[in-house]
């Protein structure tokens, strides 16, 4: 089997995985609640800013980090948001694991 066939098969298996299906459904549920979707977008923007500052400076912006935590605590009170974050986390773990496996396979040539 050639590597492209394997990659395409992996792509299909990801799309058929429970993690993918749950994350997709959780994202679709957000489209029904625009207010919640906006709150999650605000949280994700803040989370990105926190990560960016940490990567650029090596330090945590405590104010932004606290704001991010407050947004998250408020969001997970909502069942739809809580399910979204759980599905997102499980999906991201699966993708990270796949990336790790591929990375290990090519480590000695990179």
Contacts with 63 (C-beta within 8 Å, 6 or more apart), sequence order: none
Residue 90 tokens, joined: 């499980």
In a domain, 26, yes or no: no
Residues 53 and 59 sit within 8 Å (Cβ to Cβ): yes
Domain count within the chain: 1
Residues 84 and 26 sit within 8 Å (Cβ to Cβ): yes
43-73 pLDDT, tens digit per residue, is 999 999 999 999 999 989 899 999 999 999 9
Task: Say what the pLDDT of residue 68 is.
Answer: 95
Residues 51 and 57 sit within 8 Å (Cβ to Cβ): no
Using 70 as the pLDDT threshold, list the residues of the chain that sit under it: 1
Q: Within 13 Å, how many C-alpha atoms sit on residue 18's CB side? A: 2
In a domain, 79, yes or no: yes
Q: What is the pTM of this model?
A: 0.86
- Show the domain range for 80: 34-102
């Amino acid at each position: 089997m050639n590597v492209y066939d394997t990659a395409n098969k992996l792509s299909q298996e990801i799309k058929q995985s429970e993690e993918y299906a749950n994350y997709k459904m959780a994202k679709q549920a957000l489209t029904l609640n625009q207010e919640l979707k906006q709150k999650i977008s605000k949280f994700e923007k803040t989370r990105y800013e926190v990560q960016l500052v940490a990567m650029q400076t090596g330090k945590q912006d405590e104010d932004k980090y606290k704001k991010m935590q407050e947004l998250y605590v408020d969001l997970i009170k909502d069942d739809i948001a809580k399910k979204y974050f759980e599905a997102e986390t499980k999906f991201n773990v699966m993708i990270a694991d796949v990336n790790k496996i591929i990375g290990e396979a090519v480590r000695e040539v990179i």
